Every structure is written in C-alpha cells, then in structure tokens.
C-alpha cells in the first residue's frame, strides 16, 4: 500500500520551488499558500505557456507588416494572461491530484496535501484567477475571445490524462501551446493556417521538455500507477527525444515559412526567423548531450532551460520587426 513520503519541515516551502524565490522571501504570509498553488515560486511554467503566444503574435505582426500599440498590448496581455491561466490551471491540477501528490516526495509539500489550504479554498482562488484572465481576454478581438474560451476544455482534461494514457504530455502540449493559435488571432482578428504547424511544433516541444521533467518522478509514478512518456520511453528516452526535437524544429520552421514567405519581400526577415529556429535546435541538442535520465536534479535544470530555448526564436522574430 502506498503511503505519504516523509517530507522535511520547510515552513510551507514547496520542495521543487526555485531557491530564494520571491514568494518565500517577500510575499505576505497569508498569500503564500495561494501563490504556491499558482506556482509563482516556480515561474518556468508561465514562460512555457507564454512563449508560443509570443511566437505567434510576433509572426502575425511580421505578416501584417506593422507592430504598434495593439501588438504591444497583445504581447503584454498574453504575459499577464499566461501568469493567471497557468496559476488557475495549476490550482485545478492540484485539486484533482491532491491524493496522488500526497504520496510523492516532490509534491507532498504542495499547499493542499500539506494542509496549507483546503480544496474549497483552492477552488475559489482558481476562479478568481480565471475571471481576471477572462477580463484581459475581453480586450482582444471577438475571434480571439472564442479561441481563449475554447482552450478551457483542454485545461480541464489534462490533469486526468496520466490516469488513462501513457501520453499525458500530448494533452499538456495541446493546452500549453494553444497560444500559438491565439496569439495570431489576437493580433490580426483572423485565423491563418501557418499557426497550425506552429501549434504542432509546440506540442512536440512540450513532449520533449516534459518527458525530461517526468523522469524526476518515474519511480514514484510507477508505485502509484501514474502514466507518463518518461515511463513509456524508459531507457530509450534519448532516442525518442531526438525524434521530438526534429519534429519541433521542422514544424516551427514550416510555420515561419508559411507566415513570412507570401507576405515578405525582405529575405532577411525570413532568414532571421529561420535562424531563430536553428538556434533553438542547438539549445535542444545541448540538452540532449547533457541528459541523464537517472539524475533528477539535472533533469529539473534541463527542463527549466527550455525557457531560454523557446525565447531564442522569439528574440529573432522580435529583432525582425525592425528590419
């Protein structure tokens, strides 16, 4: 029978929080459990949710040939919305996983299983975050509002995926990369097929980085019956990750070409966009060279490094706005 892991007393600090994070140092004590539910002490998830939004919004600005106040607000609004919706999604995940989390050393210190908040309190906090995010969404064009609401189904399903499929990372990718569709629509008010390979490339990227992340918990997951691509791939993880790395780069590259070739007479803009994808590939290859699936600390470090991997093409696309 599975029992709760022994977790050292940490004054409420979550085991995998970023060292010396602002929540533990600066936030008022009463707010800390709620900010921990939102993963404010672990910002990597917000970045990974935001980055596909920025890819898409920046590509859309290049496609239409202008970047002004509206595009700037979309970039900022996506950042605020990503923080809020990542927080709401993580709160929902912790509510649904509270029994599982209590049996895993890394997650037993989370606010609900550790008793810092109740499930009902967490549910109220989740609704507050979602409503604030919805208020931001209402400032976007009508079609973007529809796209934003449509993402909620994926957010609701994801926490249950690891109970019925070996591929929960696919479901995470479907939810986390929705911004690759939304960002474009928020900028232009219309849908463009170039966002589809961008979205699919983001999903492949999510499988890549979240498989690395899941190797931290593979032994505990096996004990409690939780499925993941880390357990599915096992010792062949590196081989499978190479496939997903190639799929990531190919699909994002197709999205960049589809968005920029028909509209741009400036070859340098296209070259810069593809150079960003190429540089992202170098970063992912560096991760592969460092990967040791039996070293949890290294897996966490490599997982977090995907913020930089994803920001590289965003940086190149941002520079392209001035070419």
Annotate 153-206 with three-state secondary structure. HHHHHHHHHHHHCCCHHHHHHHHHCCHHHHHHHHHHCCCCCCHHHHHHHHHHHH
pLDDT given for residue 264 in this prediction: 58
Mean pLDDT over the full length of the chain? 91
pLDDT given for residue 11 in this prediction: 64
The mean pLDDT of 252-272, rounded to a whole number, is: 88
* pTM attached to this predicted model: 0.91
The tokens for 254 are: 């197709």
Of residues 96 and 262, more confidently modeled:
96
pLDDT given for residue 226 in this prediction: 87
The answer to whether 314 and 55 are in contact (CB under 8 A) is yes
**Model confidence at 7, in pLDDT bands (50, 70, 90)?**
very low
**Model confidence at 54, in pLDDT bands (50, 70, 90)?**
very high
The tokens for 206 are: 């999510």
* Residue burial 7-30, b: 16+ Cβ < 10 Å; e: rest: beeeebbbbbbbeebebbeebeee
Residue 208: alpha-carbon gap to chain centroid: 12
The answer to whether 313 and 57 are in contact (CB under 8 A) is no
Placement of tokens 């070409």 in the chain? 257
The tokens for 177 are: 């990369």
Placement of tokens 């479901």 in the chain? 171
């Amino acid at each position: 029978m599975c029992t709760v892991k022994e977790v050292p007393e940490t004054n409420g600090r979550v085991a995998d929080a970023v060292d010396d994070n602002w929540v533990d140092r600066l936030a008022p004590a009463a707010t800390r459990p709620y900010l921990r539910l939102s993963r404010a002490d672990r910002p990597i998830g917000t970045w990974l949710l935001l980055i596909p939004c920025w890819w898409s919004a920046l590509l859309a600005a290049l496609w239409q040939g202008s970047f002004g106040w509206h595009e700037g607000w979309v970039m900022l609004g996506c950042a605020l919305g990503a923080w809020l919706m990542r927080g709401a999604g993580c709160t929902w995940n912790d509510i649904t996983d509270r029994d599982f989390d209590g049996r895993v050393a890394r997650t037993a210190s989370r606010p609900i299983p550790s008793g810092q908040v109740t499930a009902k309190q967490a549910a109220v906090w989740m609704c507050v975050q979602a409503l604030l995010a919805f208020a931001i969404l209402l400032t976007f064009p009508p079609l973007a509002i529809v796209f934003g609401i449509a993402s909620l189904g994926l957010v609701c399903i994801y926490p249950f995926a690891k109970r019925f499929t070996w591929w929960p990372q696919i479901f995470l990718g479907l939810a986390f990369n929705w911004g690759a569709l939304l960002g474009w629509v928020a900028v232009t008010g219309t849908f463009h097929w170039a966002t589809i390979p961008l979205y699919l490339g983001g999903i492949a990227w999510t499988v890549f980085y979240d498989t690395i992340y899941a190797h931290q918990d593979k032994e505990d997951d096996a004990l409690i019956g939780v499925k993941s691509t880390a357990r599915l791939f096992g010792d062949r993880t590196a081989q499978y990750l190479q496939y997903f790395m190639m799929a990531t780069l190919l699909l994002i590259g197709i999205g960049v070409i589809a968005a920029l070739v028909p509209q741009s007479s400036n070859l340098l803009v296209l070259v810069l966009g593809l150079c960003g994808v190429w540089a992202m590939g170098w970063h992912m290859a560096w991760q592969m060279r460092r990967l040791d699936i039996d070293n949890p600390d290294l897996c966490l470090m490599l997982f977090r490094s995907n913020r930089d991997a994803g920001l590289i093409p965003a940086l190149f696309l941002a520079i392209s706005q001035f070419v």
